Structure 1
Amino acid sequence: MARVLAWAILPFLAALVWAGIITALLILWLATGTPHYKQDAAPIVYISDVGAKYKTLFIVGTATTSALYVGTLLADFILRSLGYLPERRQRRETIDAVLSILFGFLAAACLTLLAIFDAFNYSSIHWGLTLGFIFSLACSAGFKVAELRRLRKDHWGIRALWRSFRIKLVLVTFAIALTIAMIVLMLICTNDESHPDQCDPQHSAAAVCEWVAAYVTAAYFLSLVADFRVGGYPRAAALEEVRVGPWGQRDSNITLETRERQYY
């Protein structure tokens, strides 16, 4: 149990570092009088603009978060394979887990690179990497949710899986909705030379969506802690599983060994 819980430090630190770096950038922007870093910037600036101003801080924060997130996915995969967490019983669960890791690696690479190729000096590359990060992280989280959905059906005696699935589903859905809103708000209006501030309301709203989505991402990282709190596959939960069954039928005489023979 303690061995498994020790790995929960990875997603906890990922959430802490990511929330910390976003909060630090926000405080720095507010403390310096909410400056406009670009001539056509809206009153509320994007994270990318503040990150470009404080580039070293942004790079350190994104690189650390990336490493911790990938480490979390790998630890989860290995611990499930070794049976310390509710194990995967279907091939589709393994596929979901592998895809979540692969997209997690891609998201981590994009996140680190978008901080290096900042919004001021490499605008096109930066926003391309930003879209790559958003898409990859959404896919990684989506496959993690799909994996948990199947795991909870295989391990219906472990209620923590059901809670983890629901929390992640809500967070991922909310983050995707915010991201879509941000992209739409960015695209529906374009400044021109004669009216450089005509899109300020839309771009400010898009920036707000980005800041909120960043904190929702931190909440998603934190939700990964719950997956390690299961601490293995307790026999009490397994016994409840086999006695109740997936459709609510109860048989107090059935044993764990009997159910395992039936399953396999």
Structure 2
Amino acid sequence: MAIFSHQRHHWAYVWIPIAGAFMWFATLWAMLITWLATGRPHYGKFSMNGKVPYISDIGADILKPLFIVGCAITAVSFFLTLFIERYLRHSGRLMPNMRTRERVCGTLAVLGSFIGGAGLILLSIFDTKRHSSLHRLFLLIFMIGVALSAVFTIIEYRWISKDFRGVRQLKVGYWMKAIIAGILIVLAIAFAVELFNNVDVGGILEWCIAFGFTVYLLTFYFDLRQSKGVHKGELRPENLNRRRAWSMRRRV
């Protein structure tokens, strides 16, 4: 019974990125469907007034409560996911950081998720209709925070995967995040450019980035699930080094 319970011990936190991704995805679809069902309205002089609505414009109207709740749950889930991933590496339930540089990157990734999450919550509260300047500032903070978190996460995963070349899941996790985050960062740069050149293209890019963030969140389910059946401290560097030394002695 104890073994069976430990096998499922990871379930408590693998649902966090799933819950965050589901809430974000559902919020986006609810907003888009509402806009279509109400006859594709324009949102006044404070909106971009293109054919494609901006998420912030819809979120500043009657769906503002939903927008705030969706952003808040997504932001908290994103931060908790990165925080728990850092804890699991430190406690020896995920492949550990073997050097200080990896721990620094992991910590900066958590900090970036906190900054990005705070920006997401604040941009939903200070909407584009009533607080246009603050909204754009918090949107920038959100995008920079998430981008920094993704970059530091990818660097950390790259170094860990080089230390443990035989662990295929690390390589898969690294490439998944690198590809998805790389695409989202390129789209974010294009969005910043098109925001002032072609508002409709900018609107399309914003929706693509938003839905793409859902996929990025889901990649952490794959990472956290790797702690399944692993006891606390089992994957700490000193224990892994002892295993390697014992394995080398057996070969000799």
TM-score w.r.t. length of structure 2: 0.86
Query: How far apart are the structure 1 equivalents of 2:244 and 2:137?
Result: 52
- The answer as to whether partners of 2:60 and 2:129 remain within 8 angstroms in 1 is yes
**138 and 259 in structure 1: CA distance in 2 versus 1, 3 angstrom threshold:** farther
Report what 1:120 is aligned to. 129
Report what 1:51 is aligned to. 59
Query: How far apart are the structure 2 equivalents of 1:10 and 1:89?
Result: 26
Query: How far apart are the structure 2 equivalents of 1:153 and 1:259?
Result: 20
Q: 2:22 aligns with which of 16, 20, 23?
A: 16
- The answer as to whether partners of 2:195 and 2:202 remain within 8 angstroms in 1 is yes
Query: How far apart are the structure 2 equivalents of 1:5 and 1:154?
Result: 27
Instruction: After TM superposition, list the pairs within 5 Å mapping 1:6-155 onto structure 2.
Output: 6-39=12-45, 41-53=49-61, 54-155=63-164
CA drift of 1:259 comes to 6.3
Query: How far apart are the structure 1 equivalents of 2:229 and 2:140?
Result: 38
- The answer as to whether partners of 1:47 and 1:211 remain within 8 angstroms in 2 is yes
**133 and 184 in structure 1: CA distance in 2 versus 1, 3 angstrom threshold:** same
Counterpart check, 1:256 vs 2:237: no
- The answer as to whether partners of 2:109 and 2:149 remain within 8 angstroms in 1 is yes
Counterpart check, 1:213 vs 2:170: no
SS at match of 1:224: helix
Residue identity matched to 2:13: W
- The answer as to whether partners of 2:102 and 2:160 remain within 8 angstroms in 1 is yes
Query: How far apart are the structure 2 equivalents of 1:35 and 1:259?
Result: 68
Residue identity matched to 1:227: D
CA drift of 1:23 comes to 1.0
1:3-40, CA deviations, whole angstroms, 9 ceiling, x for partnerless residues?
23431111111111111111111111111111111246
- The answer as to whether partners of 1:83 and 1:233 remain within 8 angstroms in 2 is no
State how many pairs are aligned.
Answer: 230
Larger radius of gyration: 1
SS at match of 2:119: helix
SS at match of 1:89: coil
Query: How far apart are the structure 1 equivalents of 2:229 and 2:155?
Result: 20
1:46-86, CA deviations, whole angstroms, 9 ceiling, x for partnerless residues?
10000111111100010111111111111111111110111
TM-score w.r.t. length of structure 1: 0.83
**42 and 89 in structure 1: CA distance in 2 versus 1, 3 angstrom threshold:** same
User: How much is the aligned-residue C-alpha RMSD, in angstroms?
Assistant: 2.0
Residue identity matched to 1:42: G
Q: 1:229 aligns with which of 220, 225, 231?
A: 225
1:156-207, CA deviations, whole angstroms, 9 ceiling, x for partnerless residues?
121011001101111101111111111101123xxxxxxxxxxxxx101100
Residue identity matched to 2:109: S
Query: How far apart are the structure 2 equivalents of 1:124 and 1:93?
Result: 37
Could you tell me the percent identity over the aligned residues? 34
Residue identity matched to 1:91: T
**181 and 211 in structure 1: CA distance in 2 versus 1, 3 angstrom threshold:** same
Instruction: After TM superposition, list the pairs within 5 Å mapping 1:131-210 onto structure 2.
Output: 131-188=140-197, 202-210=198-206
Residue identity matched to 2:39: G
Report what 1:248 is aligned to. none
SS at match of 1:186: helix
SS at match of 2:60: helix
Query: How far apart are the structure 1 equivalents of 2:67 and 2:102?
Result: 35
SS at match of 1:84: coil
SS at match of 1:230: helix
Q: Which runs of 5+ in 2 are unaligned?
A: 1-6, 236-242
- The answer as to whether partners of 1:21 and 1:61 remain within 8 angstroms in 2 is yes
TM superposition outliers: structure 1 runs of 4+ over 3 Å: 258-261
